[in-house]
C-alpha cells in the first residue's frame, strides 16, 4: 500500500544522547523505539560539535542534505563528510565524534539492525525520471518530486507499495529494501 509521510506530521525528538534532535520519517516495526527498530529513516539536526549516539548492532548511512558538512571521527578514523547528497556508510555501534565544518547541518539517516533485515538497504540521491519498485521509500530533499499521483515538497516522503515512476525536479533520496527484507508499511 502506498502511504504518504508528510514532513508537517513529524515531531522533533531529542537524540538518544541528548545532543540534537531527530524527526523520524519511517521505522519498522511501526511504533518501535530507538532500541528495538529493525530499520529507521530520519532527518537529524546537528547544531553543535559532539558525539553521536551509539546504536548496538546497527549500521547506518548518513547523507548531509543541508549545511557545509562535518568532520567525523568514526572508531578512531577521520571521515570528512563535506559533500551534500553523497551517502556515507558507517557502523552505528562504534564511537563517533562530530565537528561541524561551518555551522549546523541536517542529515538524512538510514539505520538498520544487523540480522533484522535480509539485506542492507540501498540509498541513492537522484534527480530526473526513475522507475521504482514496491517497498521503496522516497524523500524529497530539495525542489519537488512527483510519483504515484502525489507531489512531494522538501522533506515530504512516500512509501511505495506499487511500481511507480519518480519525476524528481530537485534531489530525492530513494531508499530500497529487497522485497523479502521487510513487510511494507501499512
Strand pairing category for 39-46 and 58-66: unpaired
Q: Give the pLDDT of the chain (186 residues) as one tens digit per residue.
A: 899 999 999 999 988 777 789 999 999 999 898 889 999 999 999 999 999 989 999 999 999 999 999 999 999 999 999 999 999 999 999 999 999 999 999 999 999 999 998 889 999 999 999 999 999 999 999 999 999 999 999 999 999 999 999 999 999 999 998 654 444 443
Residue ranges making up the domain that contains 40:
10-113
pTM score, whole prediction: 0.92
17 in a structural domain: yes
87 in a structural domain: yes
* CATH number, position 56: 2.60.120.10
Domain count for the chain: 1
Which sign does the torsion angle of CA 11, 57, 61, 71 carry? positive
Amino acid at each position: 500500500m502506498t502511504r504518504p509521510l508528510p514532513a508537517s506530521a513529524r515531531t522533533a525528538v531529542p537524540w538518544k544522547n541528548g545532543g540534537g534532535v531527530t524527526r523520524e520519517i519511517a521505522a519498522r516495526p511501526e511504533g518501535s523505539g530507538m532500541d528495538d527498530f529493525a530499520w529507521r529513516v530520519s532527518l537529524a539536526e546537528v547544531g553543535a560539535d559532539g558525539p553521536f549516539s551509539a546504536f548496538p548492532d546497527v549500521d547506518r548511512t548518513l547523507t548531509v542534505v543541508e549545511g557545509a558538512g562535518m568532520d567525523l571521527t568514526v572508531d578512531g578514523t577521520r571521515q570528512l563528510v563535506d559533500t551534500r547528497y553523497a551517502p556515507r556508510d558507517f557502523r552505528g555501534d562504534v564511537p563517533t565524534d562530530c565537528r561541524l565544518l561551518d555551522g549546523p547541518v541536517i542529515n538524512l539517516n538510514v539505520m538498520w539492525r544487523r540480522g533484522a533485515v535480509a539485506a542492507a538497504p540501498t540509498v541513492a540521491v537522484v534527480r530526473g525520471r526513475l522507475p521504482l519498485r514496491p517497498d521503496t521509500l522516497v524523500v524529497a530533499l530539495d525542489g519537488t518530486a512527483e510519483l504515484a499521483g502525489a507531489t512531494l515538497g522538501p522533506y515530504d516522503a512516500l512509501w511505495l507499495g506499487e511500481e511507480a515512476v519518480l519525476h524528481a525536479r530537485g534531489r530525492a533520496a530513494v531508499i530500497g529494501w529487497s522485497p523479502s527484507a521487510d513487510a511494507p508499511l501499512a
